[in-house]
């Protein structure tokens, strides 16, 4: 008897189960957050969500659960609603990156594996004994990966969402970096003037939607001898980085600082018209 071949892709696993028209609407890319796959499903295919989820489980043995995205990232905590469509009914993922372990409660906190290359890139730029301002820290991927891949002295990890802060505390414990990462629950706008003025050699700002409103706080946190900011932002692809460069200049002018752009680059495509960019700049009080 001929042995049934195991499907090699999601499309293959759904052959004969979806019509040709439905297969054309199938989005085959997905995010892997450890043992949980997060997939987008076209609105015309939502009734087939379980079928699609089961097919994904059958082709990828690493997953125990498949979730579908059920809305946009929303609110100031930037949380994306998701729901389980197949496998074990859990939203608690266990994720590994650069030798670090993270526990992530999907649907309650922001998390994206897509900035892992950026975390590595910045780790390589950090010099021995640097003090880092890890703004918008979420459950801690930036400061915790820095602990592992750089020789920084310390990172202040500032996060506003109490649920993400809880995850941050947990992940600091999991990775045994209590002596290197100081978690701070609060709003960057209030925390910087109270605790972080002129404390940092480097500040990371992974808040691509709205981060421009915190540029002054990032610059105020830089040491008086100067420091570096990594500023993430969504831009219209056609317009490029003109707007964020203008925002940096304006914030510097208000604070009486001089700045120099060190690098500007695309991080990833976000939508048909938008992309995420990062601008690395140096700044110092005049
Ligand atoms: C886009 S997420 C990035 C999270 C994390 N750095 C990562 O890469 O997974 C932005 C985070 O900033 C937090 N946040 C938003 N506004 C904030 C503020 N004013 N002060 C501190 N944290 C804030 C949100 O709760 C969210 O966890």
Print the domain residue range for 33.
10-90
pLDDT of residue 11: 85
H-helix or E-strand spanning residue 184: strand 181-185
Please give the tally of structural domains in the chain.
2
Question: What is the DSSP track for 219-271?
Answer: HHTB-TT-EEEEEEEEEETTTTTHHHHHHHHHHHHHHTEEEEEEEEEEEEE-S
102 located within any domain: no
| Pocket-testing residue among 133, 144, 160, 233, ligand 1, by greatest number of atoms within 8 A of Cβ | 160
CA-nearest residue for atom 12, ligand 1, is 136
pLDDT band for position 2 (cuts 50, 70, 90):
low
225 located within any domain: yes
What is the CA(187)–ligand 1 centre distance, in A?
A: 9
Contacts by 22-30, CB closer than 8 A, 24 or more apart: 22/48, 26/52, 30/56
pLDDT in tens, 179-238: 999 999 999 999 999 999 999 999 999 999 999 999 999 999 999 999 999 999 999 999
What is the CA(250)–ligand 1 centre distance, in A?
A: 23
| Pocket-testing residue among 207, 209, 210, 276, ligand 1, by greatest number of atoms within 8 A of Cβ | 207
117 and 197 within one domain: yes
What is the CA(249)–ligand 1 centre distance, in A?
A: 23
What is the CA(55)–ligand 1 centre distance, in A?
A: 33
Ligand 1 atom closest to residue 112's alpha carbon, by position in its atom list: 9
pLDDT band for position 129 (cuts 50, 70, 90):
very high
Burial of 34 (0-12, 13-18, 19+ CB in 10 A): buried
Domain endpoint, select from 90, 121, 146 = 90
Q: How much is the pTM?
A: 0.94
159 and 263 within one domain: yes
Query: Does any ligand 1 atom lie closer than 6 A to the CB of residue 36?
Result: no
Query: Does any ligand 1 atom lie closer than 6 A to the CB of residue 110?
Result: yes
Tokens coding 59: 């082709």
pLDDT in tens, 72-88: 899 999 999 999 999 99
97 located within any domain: no
239 and 162 within one domain: yes
Instruction: Tell me the percentage of the chain whose pLDDT exceeds 90.
Output: 87
């Amino acid at each position: 008897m001929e042995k049934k071949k195991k499907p090699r892709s999601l499309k293959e696993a759904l052959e004969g189960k979806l019509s040709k028209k439905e297969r054309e609407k199938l989005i085959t890319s997905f995010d892997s957050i450890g043992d949980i796959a997060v997939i987008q499903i076209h609105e015309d295919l939502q009734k087939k969500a379980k079928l699609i989820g089961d097919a994904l489980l059958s082709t990828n043995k690493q997953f125990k659960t498949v979730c579908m995205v059920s809305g946009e990232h929303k609110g100031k905590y930037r949380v994306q609603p998701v729901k389980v469509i197949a496998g074990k009914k859990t939203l608690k993922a266990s994720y590994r990156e650069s030798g670090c372990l993270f526990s992530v409660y999907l649907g309650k906190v922001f998390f994206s594996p897509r900035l892992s290359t950026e975390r590595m890139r910045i780790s390589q730029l950090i010099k021995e004994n640097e003090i880092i301002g890890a703004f918008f820290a979420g459950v801690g991927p930036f400061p915790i990966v820095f602990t592992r891949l750089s020789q920084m002295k310390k990172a202040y990890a500032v996060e506003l969402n109490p649920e993400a802060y809880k995850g941050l505390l947990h992940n600091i414990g999991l990775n045994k970096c209590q002596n290197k990462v100081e978690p701070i629950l609060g709003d960057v706008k209030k925390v910087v003037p109270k605790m972080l003025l002129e404390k940092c050699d480097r500040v990371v700002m992974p808040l691509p939607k709205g981060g421009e409103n915190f540029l002054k706080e990032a610059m105020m946190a830089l040491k008086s001898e100067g420091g570096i900011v990594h500023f993430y932002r969504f831009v219209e692809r056609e317009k490029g980085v003109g707007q964020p460069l203008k925002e940096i200049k304006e914030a510097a002018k208000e604070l009486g600082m001089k700045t120099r752009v060190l690098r500007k680059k695309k991080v990833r495509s976000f939508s048909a018209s938008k992309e995420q960019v990062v601008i690395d700049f140096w700044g110092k009080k005049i």
